[in-house]
Amino acid sequence: MKKTPSPKFQQSSQRKQNHNHQVLATVNDEERHNPKTASALKSFKNAVKKCAQIFSLFLLGKRKSASYVVENDDRKYTSKVRGVASSSTDLSSESNTKNSSKWKFSYSYASSSTASGQLGIGNFSFEEIYKSTAKFSPDNEIGQGGFGTVYRGKLNDGSMVAVKRAKKEVIHSHLHEFKNEIYTLSQIEHRNLVRLYGYLEHGNEKIIVVEYVGNGNLREHLDGIRGEGLEMGERLDIAIDVAHAITYLHMYADNPIIHRDIKASNILVTENLKAKVADFGFARLSDDPTATHISTQVKGTAGYMDPEYLRTYQLTEKSDVYSFGVLLVEMVTGRHPIEPKRPLDERVTIRWAMKMLKQGDAVFAMDPRLRRNPASIKAVKQVLKLALQCLAPLKQSRPPMKNCAEVLWEIRKSFRDETDSDHPSLPSHHSADFPQREKNKHTVFGIEDDDSYKFVSVPNHIRS
């Protein structure tokens, strides 16, 4: 069981009970997907149940007005119970006073009948974070982005976090909304979304603490600088994970969350090659969260941005669908959205790939790292067809994210069926486009020697 950082939080006993149920629900979900961990999870569940019982007894004796303080030092079990489902919150004050370097959110309940109270959803001290990154040591630097530098952090109990340290010039004119938004985002839990643990201010330092995902980002995998090269089946799994995550954001409560910056470097990869979407909602943090669409500033990354949004400055969920279309093309071609060193007609990857698709030459757009076989070639064509719909110039013509996920399920299903019938000896869950992957590692970047894969000849310029 992966360790996660510890919160100190205040909440009613009922809420705590609810969250213990939430823990169990999450565990059940994981258990379904990963039967190997079932017995470990069973013990975990028992431990959580026990904690809930002890906690209730504790509260009976410790009741203090309308809220309770829980100092929970057992970090192992806390990440899933820290969040408090509250659809309407108003962050009314911050506790980051001169004397305190700890972050804490306070809020009052929107439903007036309940006693308003204070709630801290998590608590890291600056000192703890500073120490966890070995004083922001360059050795712990794992990335650079628009917000600042990202560090790997190891907390006292050994659990890992990613620490995003803002550049000095990051100043938020709407600090209150910024914190409100961070609070909302910290409530969101989905297996394919990188969990946001909290936000910390200390002097000029602004720090966001998020779940650590340890196997690099999708772009690094596509570039071959991480892992062993992604198989077709693995790429389809990742595409589905991403589609699930975005669908969840778009359908989240009453207020859809638009990611605004879907791109391969924002898709983090776990050791088991599951995808987790990072930075959701971050791009809108400095905007007015009450607006129905955001029209003040264009945000996003060149090559992924919806042309309609660029024209109208009106952001909707369909802008994410467009970026997802770019990502799909990236995943099957292996190319970056913009490749300045290519011949002119190939520089914008989506334009080139769609031209190939329309000419019936989709196979030429296929990532040369992918092994060619009938199932993988068919899957590439189908993914490009879906991408074509996502990339429709007008947002009305783009499918909703949920439909994209469904289409991808179908593509994966037929890919698996076809590879299983080609290779009946393989287990059904095997992503079998690289059936002899270990044996043939050296051929990953080209066409297989095996005759059955030789029927497609790929021009040299595509393989380079």
Ligand X SMILES: Nc1ncnc2c1ncn2[C@@H]1O[C@H](COP(=O)(O)OP(=O)(O)OP(=O)(O)O)[C@@H](O)[C@H]1O
* Choice between 233 and 337, CB closer to ligand X: 337
Window of 12-20, 44-52, 61-69, 137-145 that interacts with ligand X by CB under 6 A: 137-145
Q: CB of residue 162 vs ligand X: minimum separation in angstroms?
A: 3
* Choice between 219 and 437, CB closer to ligand X: 219
* Choice between 145 and 368, CB closer to ligand X: 145
By CB under 6 A, the residues from 254 to 313 that bind ligand X are 261, 265-266, 268, 278-279, 301
* Choice between 151 and 434, CB closer to ligand X: 151
| Structure token digits, residue 92 | 């009314």
For residue 441, give the amino acid letter: K
The answer to whether the beta carbons of residues 249 and 280 sit under 8 Å apart is yes
Contacts 24+ apart (CB under 8 A), 333-340: 333/365, 333/366, 333/367, 334/222, 334/367, 334/368, 334/369, 334/370, 335/367, 336/219, 336/303, 337/263, 337/302, 337/303, 337/304, 338/302, 338/303
**Is 308 in a helix, a strand, or coil?**
helix
Check binding of 147 to ligand X (CB under 6 A): yes
Q: How far is CA 364 from CA 230, 333, 353, in A?
A: 18, 9, 9
Distance of alpha carbon 178 from alpha carbon 413, whole angstroms:
42
The contact mask relative to ligand X for 55-94 (x = CB under 6 A, - = no) is ----------------------------------------
Q: Has 358 been labeled as part of a binding site? A: no
| Residue of 188, 210, 218, 405 interacting with ligand X (CB under 6 A) | 210
Q: CB of residue 218 vs ligand X: minimum separation in angstroms?
A: 9
Residue 261 catalytic? Answer: yes
Give 324's DSSP letter.
H
* Choice between 297 and 428, CB closer to ligand X: 297
Helix 374-390 and helix 401-422, axial crossing angle in degrees, nearest 10: 170
Closest CA to 230 of 460, 433, 457: 433
Q: CB of residue 148 vs ligand X: minimum separation in angstroms?
A: 7
Kindly name the residue from 73, 74, 157, 261 that is annotated as catalytic: 261
- Report CA torsion sign: 9, 12, 17, 22: negative
Distance of alpha carbon 184 from alpha carbon 107, whole angstroms:
12
| Residue of 194, 242, 285, 411 interacting with ligand X (CB under 6 A) | 194
| Residue of 52, 162, 238, 321 interacting with ligand X (CB under 6 A) | 162
Please enumerate, by residue number, every residue annotated as part of a binding site for ATP. Answer: 168
Please enumerate, by residue number, every residue annotated as part of a binding site. Answer: 168
Residues that bind ligand X (CB under 6 A): 142-147, 150, 162, 164, 194, 210-213, 216-217, 261, 265-266, 268, 278-279, 301
